[in-house]
């Protein structure tokens, strides 16, 4: 079911109460309410929820604890913590702290309803929220729907989310919004000079492909490139079992750019959008690409393969080269690319790289508004030598292990052309359930990008 606000005619009045405001609020209430609140131990702590009955036994109002600022700073969606504990019903905000970010908290509320139920039906029903005055309801719903799409794609196991299924998901999105789509598949990739996408994906039974979506006829040009490695065994440099367990999420970059594309098309932003997804499986068979192979990329640069488990940058390189041939006004790549990025910032932050200060500043300013934290990492020029081996132009897996996220980003930058470019190295996964964020697939970066786009593209 698509996320939405409630249109119920008689919703329950919900008071959102920060813990420091409780005494003042209670003093304004009649004795029966004060007594009920005290009896039930409601203190306004983060995540508390309480229904207050009227004298006839019906529900008079509901209370949601908003906690203290220190506690709120530790969660992404503070109101969602209480929303998840409210019984099923329809609610309207009757009062809330002045500093509450309505867009962020309403988004968190809508995302409490998310369930990945493709394989296991059921689950608890959710409290529903009436869109409060002053919030851009269309934008909140668009954000929640994009997050749902991203989570569903990542959560689907590789048995049902191979390159063919990822293409079909993109086709479905294109059909919904009147976008055009083209796909280059299998050996035809060689005919179209996309050799590294072919090399990485040729060992799998499900054919590698490049999916190319276009939408919009006028305005500035934006190209999104998403890593679509639908499962990553590591190739001949086989991953150990514990490292392979979550590799269904290695198409998280593609899932995230599709989420961003959905928001852009839903909100009808006045731009020309292109989405490129190199969709492959990194599998093991007799024709798999090998350690020590030297590949020639679309751009003509040669790449020495020193680890077949560093395959994502190879497929992205060809897609970025293709995208750069049109010199878009802004190009963004998103990928679950390196473990080094997780070591650097953990699973909760989306690190990004750009040489453009205006782009970086716009993203940093936009991120808190949409509860989509990002962190800038550097294209550190002295590390360029690390990606330059003796036998080829580039090395896909520099020895030593240091600065892995940066060297991967520097590798991609070699293929991104001369225009404005941003690269996101995301995790795409919520390891532990949190308010508004179920365990599993996760959007990281698209909401910050959506809010920053008007500044970045002059919309």
In a domain, 3, yes or no: no
Asked whether 403 and 339 are in contact (CB, 8 A), the reply is no
Taking each helix axis from N to C end, the angle separating 137-155 and 446-457, rounded to the nearest 10 degrees, works out to 130
Give residue 424's pLDDT. Answer: 98
Phi-psi region of 180 (alpha: psi -120 to 50; beta: other; left: phi over 0): beta
Give residue 125's pLDDT. Answer: 79
- Give the distance between the most distant pair of CA atoms in the chain: 83
Contact residues for 402 (Cβ-Cβ < 8 A; gap 6+): none
Active site residue: 214, 239, 369, 376, which one?
239
Q: Quick one: 58 and 178 in the same domain?
A: no
Query: What CATH code is carried by the domain that includes residue 32?
Result: 3.40.220.10
In terms of Cβ atoms closer than 10 Å to its own Cβ (0-12, 13-18, 19+), residue 143 is: buried
Give residue 223's pLDDT. Answer: 98
Q: Quick one: 163 and 274 in the same domain?
A: yes
Range of the domain at 78: 12-100
Q: Quick one: 61 and 191 in the same domain?
A: no
Active site residue: 313, 342, 386, 447, which one?
313
313 has catalytic annotation: yes
Nearest to 429 by CA among 251, 257, 244, 276: 251
Q: Quick one: 88 and 157 in the same domain?
A: no
Q: Quick one: 379 and 283 in the same domain?
A: yes
Query: What CATH code is carried by the domain that includes residue 300?
Result: 3.40.630.10
Q: What is the pLDDT along the chain (459 residues), one digit of tens a residue?
A: 789 999 999 999 999 999 999 999 999 999 999 999 999 999 999 999 999 999 999 999 999 999 999 999 999 999 999 999 999 999 999 999 999 999 999 999 999 999 999 999 877 678 999 999 999 999 999 999 999 999 999 999 999 999 999 999 999 999 999 999 999 999 999 999 999 999 999 999 999 999 999 999 999 999 999 999 999 999 999 999 999 999 999 999 999 999 999 999 999 999 999 999 999 999 999 999 999 999 999 999 999 999 999 999 999 999 999 999 999 999 999 999 999 999 999 999 999 999 999 999 999 999 999 999 999 999 999 999 999 999 999 999 998 889 999 999 999 999 999 999 999 999 999 999 999 999 999 999 999 999 999 999 999
Q: Quick one: 323 and 448 in the same domain?
A: yes
In a domain, 425, yes or no: yes
**How many domains in the chain?**
2
Q: Quick one: 44 and 165 in the same domain?
A: no
Q: Quick one: 198 and 281 in the same domain?
A: yes
Give residue 400's pLDDT. Answer: 85
pTM, rounded to two decimals: 0.97
Give residue 1's pLDDT. Answer: 76
């Amino acid at each position: 079911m698509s996320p939405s606000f409630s249109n119920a005619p008689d919703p329950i009045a919900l008071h959102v109460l920060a813990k420091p405001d409780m005494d003042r609020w209670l003093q304004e209430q009649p004795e029966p309410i004060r007594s009920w609140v005290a009896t039930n131990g409601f203190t306004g702590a983060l995540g508390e929820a309480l229904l207050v009955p009227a004298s006839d036994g019906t529900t008079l109002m509901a209370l949601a604890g908003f906690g203290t600022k220190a506690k709120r700073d530790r969660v992404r969606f503070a109101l969602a913590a209480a929303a998840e504990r409210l019984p099923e019903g329809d609610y309207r905000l009757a009062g809330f702290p002045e500093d509450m970010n309505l867009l962020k908290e309403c988004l968190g509320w809508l995302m409490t309803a998310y369930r990945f139920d493709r394989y296991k039906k059921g689950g608890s029903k959710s409290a529903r929220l009436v869109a409060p005055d002053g919030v851009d309801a269309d934008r909140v719903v668009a954000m929640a729907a994009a997050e749902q799409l991203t989570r569903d794609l990542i959560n689907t196991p590789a048995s049902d989310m191979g390159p063919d299924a990822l293409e079909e998901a993109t086709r479905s999105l294109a059909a919904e919004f009147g976008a055009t789509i083209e796909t280059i598949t299998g050996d035809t990739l060689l005919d179209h000079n996309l050799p590294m996408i072919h090399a990485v994906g040729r060992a799998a039974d499900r054919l590698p492909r490049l999916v190319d979506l276009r939408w919009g006829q006028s305005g500035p040009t934006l190209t999104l490139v998403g890593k679509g490695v639908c499962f990553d065994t590591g190739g001949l440099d086989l991953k150990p079992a514990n490292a392979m367990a979550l590799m269904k999420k290695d198409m998280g970059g593609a899932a995230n750019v599709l989420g961003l594309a959905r928001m852009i098309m839903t909100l009808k932003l006045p731009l020309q959008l292109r989405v490129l997804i190199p969709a492959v499986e990194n599998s093991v068979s007799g024709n798999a690409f090998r350690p020590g192979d030297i590949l020639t990329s679309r751009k003509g640069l040669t790449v020495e393969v020193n680890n077949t488990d560093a395959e994502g940058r190879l497929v992205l390189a060809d897609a970025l080269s293709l995208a750069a041939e049109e010199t878009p006004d802004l190009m963004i790549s998103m990928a679950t690319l390196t473990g080094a990025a997780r070591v650097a910032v953990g699973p909760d932050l989306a690190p990004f790289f750009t040489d453009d200060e205006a782009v970086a500043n716009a993203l940093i300013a936009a991120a808190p508004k949409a509860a989509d934290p990002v962190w800038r990492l550097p294209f550190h020029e002295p590390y360029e030598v690390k990606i330059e081996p003796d036998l080829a132009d580039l090395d896909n897996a520099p020895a030593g292990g240091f600065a892995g996220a940066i060297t991967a980003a520097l590798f991609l930058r070699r293929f991104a052309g001369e225009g404005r470019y941003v690269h996101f190295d995301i995790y795409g996964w919520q390891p532990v359930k949190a308010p508004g964020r179920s365990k599993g697939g996760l959007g990281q970066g698209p909401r910050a990008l959506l809010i920053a786009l008007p500044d970045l593209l002059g919309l």
